[in-house]
Homo-oligomer: A and B are copies of this chain.
Amino acid sequence: MKTRRDESGVGPWDVAVLAATIFVAIAMPLRVVFDSLDVGWMTVGSTVAALLFGADVVMRFSRPIVVGGRPVSEPSVVRRHYLRTWFLVDLMAAIPFDVIAAASGLAEGSAGQALRLLSLLRVLRVARILILQREWRVRTSFNPALLRLAFFFFWIVVSSHWIACGWIALDGLEAGHAELHPYQQALYWTITTLTTVGYGDIAPVGGRQVAYAMVVMGLGVAMFGYIIGNVASLLANIDVLRARHLGRIETINHFLRDRHVPHELQTRVRDYYNYLWESRMGSQSEMLMDLPRSLHIEVALHLHRNVLRKVPIFERASEVFLRELVLHLVPQVFIPGETIVRRGEIGHRIFFINKGTVEVLSHDEGTVVATLSDGDFFGEWALLSSQPRANTVVAVDYCNLYALDRDKFDQVLDGFPEFATEVRRVADARRQDTASET
């Protein structure tokens, strides 16, 4: 398992390489277009990045990888895999063309110019960030919509930067706005064009600029449109569960208004759904259905930890008992005034109260013989005695109950005698207390 998470690139080494990659993506194009940037710290940064990239190439030859979902650390497989995939790109990015140029005294002249352009190859490493982006989406628990928004923002900034550097390289600066720094001017043109605002105060002049502008408009505008289109759906998905809740309420709202259901009843229906949402009792099981049983149990243990902690007869229960029980507990919500159990019906389940208050009514349903609340259970008598429900039970406020079906209840009674004893003890005490109840 460890190798898998290491692989997602959050070790200190990966952070260093990532930082170098971003530095290279920003600084190298600037250095090519502005001679004045050929200064000390820039050379140092560039050289350090090249060294880091070189060391990374070496390391990759022995770093375990994941193939078909399984970690592989056999050197021959790792090597072959690396040579077939990223080796060439990584190698290109690691050759320090600029250092070579400086060392060989070729900084001036056309050979130096060529070497400087070749040093742009280092920018290729940026493609690695696409891989990182994908890894983070499936391996981390960041909000995926926010994560993608952040990456979109990064790509827009980086590509605007590159387009602006390209514009400077084509001497696109004579036109207007002489008061601005060349870079600011180029970036301004880039954004004006990519967003299709196109004031026209800076327009391309001459064949090369016009050709460049056409490419930027064609591809850049498509890219910008694509990102805007995605931003809309990402913003809608930042809280995708709430969005679903809202969508559900809106649909039911439309329906109720269309059928002229009275406002008071509409409000109660809405309140019910809001309660489901706010108390996190809405249906969740379909999400977990395709998990393997052992994972399903662990997630369910967490989701239902409240009821398991609150109900006294569960408190002393063993881990094994709870794991057996938890998949069979069915969360249910009752609204104030709703009848949960009706006297005379055949009882099919026992209820555990997670939150809320219920009233047990007397036989003639005239008086309240008991009030049960968080951590209590009821409905056990009908299951133990196989007789019809003795009392009606009504919810006083919103009630989060957990129901356990008769057959599961019987299984649990069989498998865990101490639980059976406890339930029978409570049931007997109740019957003696109130003559005949629940």
Contacts and interface: CB of A to CB of B under 8 A. Distances in A.
Interface of A: 1, 4-5, 66, 68-70, 134, 137-139, 141, 143-145, 156, 177, 179-181, 184-185, 187-188, 191-193, 195-201, 203-207, 210-211, 213-214, 217-218, 221-222, 225-226, 228-232, 235, 237, 239-241, 245-246, 249-259, 261-263, 265-280, 283-284, 287, 290-295, 298-299, 302-303, 333-339, 355, 397-398
A387 to B, nearest CB: 21
Contacts of A303: 259, 261
Copies in the complex: 4
A70 B279 contact: yes
A199 B200 contact: yes
A274 B141 contact: no
A421 B273 CA distance: 42
B207 A181 contact: yes
A144 B254 contact: yes
Given A141-B253, A210-B184, A261-B299, A69 B275 contact: yes
Q: Nearest 3 CB-CB pairs, A to B?
A: A69-B278, A197-B198, A199-B200
Nearest to A70: B398
Most chain B beta-carbon neighbours within 10 Å: one of A187, A199, A211, A275: A199
A397 B263 CA distance: 34
6 contacts: A69-B277, A198-B200, A201-B203, A255-B284, A258-B280, A261-B299
Contact of A294 (B69, B193, B337): B337
Nearest to A283: B290
Contacts of A334: 292
Contacts of A254: 143-144, 239-241
A274 B138 contact: yes
A196 B221 CA distance: 9
A185 B235 CA distance: 32
Given A252-B287, A287-B255, A210 B177 contact: yes
B144 A250 contact: yes
A235 B231 contact: no
A217 B5 CA distance: 39
Contacts of A398: 69-70
A68 B280 contact: yes
